[in-house]
A and B are shown apart, each in its own frame.
Chain A
Amino acid sequence: MRPDTYAYYPGCTLHSTAKEYDVSARLVCHKLGIKLQELENWTCCGASSAHTTNELLSIALPARELQAAEEMGLPLAVACALCFSRLKHSAYELADKEKLDLVNELLGKEFHNTTEVVHLLKVLYEERDAMTVSRPLSSLKIACYYGCLLVRPQEIVDLDDVENPQIMDQLMERLGAVTVDWGFKTECCGASLPLTKPEMVLKLSHRILSQAKQAGADCVAVACPMCHNNLDAYQKDMKRKYSDKFELPVLYFTQLAGLALGFSPKQLLLDKHFTSPLPMLRDKGLADAGIAIKV
C-alpha cells in the first residue's frame, strides 16, 4: 500500500520564489487524495552554505526536520531537489551511530533515523496509473530536465539512473505528453552561481535550453527551484549574449501534472514565470480556464 499522507517539507524557496511549485504541488496532491501535512516550525535545510562551512551543521539541520517527521510517524515528502539532497545526505550520514548520538545531543530530542525521505516526483510517479487525465498534454513535446542533485549521488539518493533518468519522462507520457530523448537531463545548470559567476550560469543554462530546443521540445519540465530559476529567469540575458531566436518556457512538473488533471493556468500560477508559457500553451490548446477546484 502506498501511503496517502505525507509529512511535507516545502523548503525556503517554495514559500518565496518558487511559490508556483508549492501551489501546484498542493493542488495536484489534493486532487489525487494525497494529504500533505506541512512540518511545524521547519527551518532551512542548510542548503549549500552549511555543508561548505560545517559538516556537523549540514547533518544536524536536516536531521531536525527528519526528527519532526519521525515524530509524526509519516514519510517525508520533499519538493526542492536541493532540500531532498541534503535530507538524504543527512539520513545517510546518520547511519553512523556516533554521528547520530552527537546529533541527538544537539537536537535535545530522541531521533532514530527511521524517516523515509521521498521526492514529490517519485510520489506522483508512483500514483501515475491512478490519475484521471481530463486535459491530455498530447500536443506537447517536453524535455524533462532532472538537474544534477535529484539523482546524484546514486548510492545516497537512489532515485533513478544518473545519466538517463526516466521517471519524469514516464510521468509526462502518462499525462499524454511526448517526451524528447536528449542528452542533457542531468547536466549542471550553474546552480547557485548566478550571483558570483553569472557568465558561467548563462553558458551552462543556455547549453541546456538550446539542446532541449534542438531535440524539438516545446518546453522544459523541472523538479528543482534552483534549476527553474537559472533556466527561466535569464533567458533575456542569454538572448543578448548568444543572439538566440527562441524562448523556451520552463515549467514545474507539478504544473504540467496540474494542467493535465484539469486545473486552470491561473490556479497553477503559470503567469508567474519570467518566460511566459502562456502563448505556447494557448497555441497548443492547453490554456483554457479548466475547472476551478477550491482547495
Chain B
Amino acid sequence: MARTGVFICHCGTNIGGTVDVSKVLEAAKSMPTVAYVDDNTYSCSEPGQASIHDAIIENRLDRVVIGCCSPRMHENTFRKTVATAGINPYLLEISNIREHCSWVHGDDKEAATDKAIELVRMAVAKVASLEPLFSRQVGLTKRALVIGGGIAGIQAALDIANADYEVVLVEREPSIGGRMAQLDKTFPTLDCSACILAPKMVDVAQHPNITLLTYAEVQDVKGFVGNFEVNILQKARKVDHIKCTGCGTCWQKCLERTPSEFNLEMGKRSAIYIPFPQAVPLKPVIDTEHCAHFKYLEAKEEGRDLPDCNICQQLCPVSAIDYEQEDQIISERFGAIIVATGYQTFDHSVYHEYGSGRYADVITGLHLERLLSASGPTGGEVIRPSDGLLPKTVVFVSCVGSRDEQKGRAYCSKVCCMYMAKQAIMLKEHDPEVQCYIFYIDIRAGGKDFEEFARRAQEEYGTLYLRGRISKIYQEGKKLIVCGEDSLIGRPVEIAADLVVLATGMEPSIGAAELAQRLKISYDTNNFFIEAHPKLRPVETNTDGIFLAGSCIGPRDIPESVAQGGAAAAKVAALFSQDVLTTDPMVATIDPMLCSGCLLCTQVCPFNAIDTQVTRDGRTIALVNETMCKGCGLCVASCRFGAADLRGFTQQQILAQVTSLWR
C-alpha cells in the first residue's frame, strides 16, 4: 500500500487568498493512500522544501503530491526535493491549484476551494499508479555549430572557441560581418563600426578552434542534443580558397561590373569579388550569374555566340581559379547549435504614399549608412542618388514598417530612433549647412546614454524633431515634398527636402522560418525565433541543445547581440562541460506485442523519434528512439491499437485521475 504525502502551498496569498487551504488539507486526509498532509506558505522556499524533505523521512512517505503553481514553474525543483529524501523523482505529482484555480477563480472562493480539492484528488489518484522512472545516459560530441556570421554569431563562436571547444561557423554570404559591417558609426559612442568589428572577424579567421564556412548554408539537421548530424551546403566559390592568397589581382582585373549587394546597389562590384575591403575571408568568389565566362558557357549551350573571358584564371599567380568547382555537401556532427541569423530591413515598397521606390532620393537608413561610410560607394560623401548634389535639407521618417499593423509589423524595431539621431549628428558633422528633421511617433531612447545622445542630436546639432506621421512624399522639381502633421500643434506641415531617409524597421532574415522548420524550433507570426522563456531562458529554445542569439529573436542592437552571443556560448560551454547527458525518461514506449506495424506514429511524430525494427517473427514494428522523443504524446493519441503509451502519463494513470472524480 502506497503512503502518499499531500503538501498544499499558500504561495503567499496567491493561492491562500482564494482557496481555503485548511479545507483542502481536511479533504485530502480522507483520500485513498494519503498518509500525511501539511501546508506551507512558500513550498519552493528553502524552509518549505526542508519541511517536505523531513516529512517524507519521518512519515515513511513513498509518493508525494504538491498542490501549488504550474509544473512548468517548479516541477523540477520538487523532483530534486523528493529525490534528496530518497524517493524516485518521478513519484511526484504536481496539482496546479494556482494558474488553473486560484488565479482564475478569485471571484468565487468557495467554488475555488472545491475545485482545488478535486484537482488534488485527481493528483492523489494518479500518484498512486505512478511507477519509478530512470534517466538514461548518452555521450556527446563537444563541437558546436554557429549559424550566422554577424556580430552575435561571431561573439558566440569566439567565446566557445576560447573555452577550448571546437566551433564551425556557417555564413551564407561570402564574408562574415553581417549587418554591422555595413554600418558607419555606432550609437551612442560614435565608434567606427567596421573598426571595432574587423578585429573580431580576423580573430575568427585565425582562431585554431574555429572552422569558418562562408558561402555555405545549413541544409538539414537530424539528431538531438549532444548528437546532431548536420549537412552543410558549401556553395561553389569557383576559387580554391586553400591556394588563394587574397592578392586581389582577379577582382581588380575583372571586366564585369554589377551592382554591389553590400552597398545596396549604390555602387558596383566585379563578377569575381569580395563584398567589401575588410571581408573575412579575404578571398573572392565568382558570381556565376554575372561572370562573362559562365555567360559564355551558358550561351554556348543554347547555341548562341558570346565572347569568352578567363582573365582571372590567366592572371591568378597561384592558379586558384577553378571554374569546374561544384557545390559540396559537408556532413558534420555537433553537440550544440547556436542560431544567430540576424535581420534584414523592411521592404518599404508597400508604402505607395512614400513612393514605393519611385523617387531615387527617398532612401533607407541602411542606404544612408553606406553613403556616410568612408568605405562606401561615394567614399563617405553624402550625395543625392539622383543627381549627385549635396543635400541640405534631410527629412527622416520613423517607424517605416514598424508599429504599423496595417502595412508593416506591429512591433517596435527598437534601434531606429537611435540610428536616426546618430545619422542626423553625422550628417551635420559632414556638412554643417545640413538641416535635419525627424518625424517621430515617440522617441524611444531607453538604454545606457541613449537619451543623452538623442538630446545632443537636438540641442547641439539642431535636429528638429516633429511629432507626427508622414502622409505623403512627392517630387516637385528637384525637391521632395514631405507632407505630414505636427501633432503637437495640430497642424499639417510640408517640408521641401533634398533627401528623405526612411527608418525602415527590422524583420527576420529571409529563410528564417524554413531554417526553424529544419531545426524544429518554434518561430512566431513575424518569423522571429521563440525563446524557451522570454525572461528566464532568453537564449535557449524549447529544443535541447539549440540556442539563439541576436536579432533573429527580435529587434536587438549591437551590445545586446554581443551579450546574447556570449550568453549562448556560456550555455554551450556548460553543456560541453558534461561528459554524458542524462535524458528525460518521460518518453513514449511501444508495446511490441500490440504494435500492428501500421507506422502511423512515424508520420505524426514531429521529432523523427520513431524508428522501426523487425521482430524475430519478421514483423516490422515501431520503436521509440528515447533520446529524441520529447514525450509529446502524439503517437499515443494516433495509435489505434493502444500499443503506444507515455511514461509518466500512461493511459491507466490518466484514467485513474478521471475515475477519481466519479463519486
Q: Which residues of A contact B257 (CB under 8 A)?
A: none
Min CB distance, A210 to chain B, in Å?
8
Q: Do B356 and A214 touch across chains, with their CB atoms under 8 A apart?
A: no
- Which residue of A has the minimal Cβ distance to B474? A183
Q: Which residues of B contact A211 (CB under 8 A)?
A: 474, 476
Q: How long is the Cα–Cα vector from A210 to B474 in the complex, in angstroms?
A: 11
Among B351, B355, B474, B475: residue with most chain A CB under 10 A: B474
Q: How long is the Cα–Cα vector from A181 to B352 in the complex, in angstroms?
A: 10
A181-B358, A183-B358 as given contacts; A161 in contact with B352, CB under 8 Å:
yes
Q: Is A187 located at the chain interface by the 8 A CB criterion?
A: yes
Q: How long is the Cα–Cα vector from A161 to B352 in the complex, in angstroms?
A: 10
Q: How long is the Cα–Cα vector from A250 to B163 in the complex, in angstroms?
A: 74
A-contacting residues, B593-620, CB 8 Å: none
Q: Which residues of A contact B475 (CB under 8 A)?
A: 214
Min CB distance, A169 to chain B, in Å?
13
Q: How long is the Cα–Cα vector from A163 to B352 in the complex, in angstroms?
A: 6
Q: How long is the Cα–Cα vector from A192 to B318 in the complex, in angstroms?
A: 77
Q: Do B472 and A214 touch across chains, with their CB atoms under 8 A apart?
A: no
Q: Annotate B446-483 by CB proximity to A: 1 below 8 A, 0 otherwise.
A: 00000000000000000000000000111110000000
Q: Which of B352, B472, B476 contacts A164 (CB 8 A)?
A: B352
Other A-B pairs beyond A184-B474, A211-B474, A211-B476, 15, CB < 8 Å:
A161-B352, A163-B351, A163-B352, A163-B353, A164-B352, A164-B356, A183-B352, A183-B353, A183-B355, A183-B358, A183-B472, A183-B473, A187-B472, A210-B476, A214-B475
Please tell me the number of chain B residues within 8 Å of chain A, measured between CB atoms.
11
Min CB distance, A150 to chain B, in Å?
15
Q: How long is the Cα–Cα vector from A161 to B356 in the complex, in angstroms?
A: 14
B-contacting residues, A156-185, CB 8 Å: 161, 163-164, 181, 183-184
Q: How long is the Cα–Cα vector from A79 to B356 in the complex, in angstroms?
A: 30
Interface of A is mostly: loop
Min CB distance, A243 to chain B, in Å?
15
A-B contact pairs, 9 of them (CB 8 A): A163-B351, A181-B358, A183-B353, A183-B473, A184-B474, A210-B476, A211-B474, A211-B476, A214-B476
Min CB distance, B375 to chain A, in Å?
34
Q: How many A-B residue pairs have CB under 8 A?
A: 21
Q: Which residues of B contact A163 (CB under 8 A)?
A: 351-353
Interface size class of A (residues with CB under 8 A): 10 to 19
Q: Which residues of B contact A214 (CB under 8 A)?
A: 475-476
A-contacting residues, B340-384, CB 8 Å: 351-353, 355-356, 358
A-contacting residues, B395-440, CB 8 Å: none
Q: How long is the Cα–Cα vector from A211 to B472 in the complex, in angstroms?
A: 13
Min CB distance, A218 to chain B, in Å?
19
- Which residue of B has the minimal Cβ distance to A187? B472
Among A183, A187, A211: residue with most chain B CB under 10 A: A183
Among B352, B472, B473: residue with most chain A CB under 10 A: B352
Q: Annotate A201-214 by CB proximity to B: 1 below 8 A, 0 otherwise.
A: 00000000011001
Q: How long is the Cα–Cα vector from A265 to B476 in the complex, in angstroms?
A: 34
Q: Which residues of B contact A161 (CB under 8 A)?
A: 352
Q: How long is the Cα–Cα vector from A181 to B472 in the complex, in angstroms?
A: 15
Min CB distance, A13 to chain B, in Å?
28
Q: Annotate A232-251 by CB proximity to B: 1 below 8 A, 0 otherwise.
A: 00000000000000000000
Q: Which residues of A contact B474 (CB under 8 A)?
A: 183-184, 211
- Which residue of A has the minimal Cβ distance to B355? A183
Min CB distance, B430 to chain A, in Å?
29
Q: Which residues of A contact B352 (CB under 8 A)?
A: 161, 163-164, 183
Q: Which residues of B contact A210 (CB under 8 A)?
A: 476
Q: How long is the Cα–Cα vector from A62 to B475 in the complex, in angstroms?
A: 40
- Which residue of A has the minimal Cβ distance to B473? A183
Q: How long is the Cα–Cα vector from A98 to B512 in the complex, in angstroms?
A: 49
Min CB distance, A56 to chain B, in Å?
31
Q: How long is the Cα–Cα vector from A163 to B475 in the complex, in angstroms?
A: 16
Q: How long is the Cα–Cα vector from A57 to B472 in the complex, in angstroms?
A: 35
Q: Lowest 10 A-B CB distances belong to which pairs?
A: A164-B352, A163-B352, A183-B474, A163-B353, A211-B474, A181-B358, A183-B355, A183-B472, A184-B474, A183-B358
Q: Annotate A180-198 by CB proximity to B: 1 below 8 A, 0 otherwise.
A: 0101100100000000000
Q: How long is the Cα–Cα vector from A161 to B353 in the complex, in angstroms?
A: 12
Q: How long is the Cα–Cα vector from A210 to B473 in the complex, in angstroms?
A: 15
Q: How long is the Cα–Cα vector from A210 to B351 in the complex, in angstroms?
A: 22
Min CB distance, A204 to chain B, in Å?
12
Q: Which residues of A contact B358 (CB under 8 A)?
A: 181, 183
Q: Which residues of B contact A187 (CB under 8 A)?
A: 472
Q: Which residues of B contact A164 (CB under 8 A)?
A: 352, 356
Min CB distance, A248 to chain B, in Å?
16
Q: Which residues of B contact A181 (CB under 8 A)?
A: 358
Q: Which residues of A contact B351 (CB under 8 A)?
A: 163
Q: How long is the Cα–Cα vector from A178 to B226 in the complex, in angstroms?
A: 63
Among A163, A210, A211: residue with most chain B CB under 10 A: A163
Q: How long is the Cα–Cα vector from A183 to B475 in the complex, in angstroms?
A: 9
Min CB distance, A180 to chain B, in Å?
11
Q: Which residues of B contact A183 (CB under 8 A)?
A: 352-353, 355, 358, 472-474
- Which residue of B has the minimal Cβ distance to A162? B352
Q: How long is the Cα–Cα vector from A184 to B355 in the complex, in angstroms?
A: 10
- Which residue of A has the minimal Cβ distance to B358? A181
Q: How long is the Cα–Cα vector from A184 to B476 in the complex, in angstroms?
A: 12
- Which residue of A has the minimal Cβ distance to B471? A187
B-contacting residues, A139-166, CB 8 Å: 161, 163-164
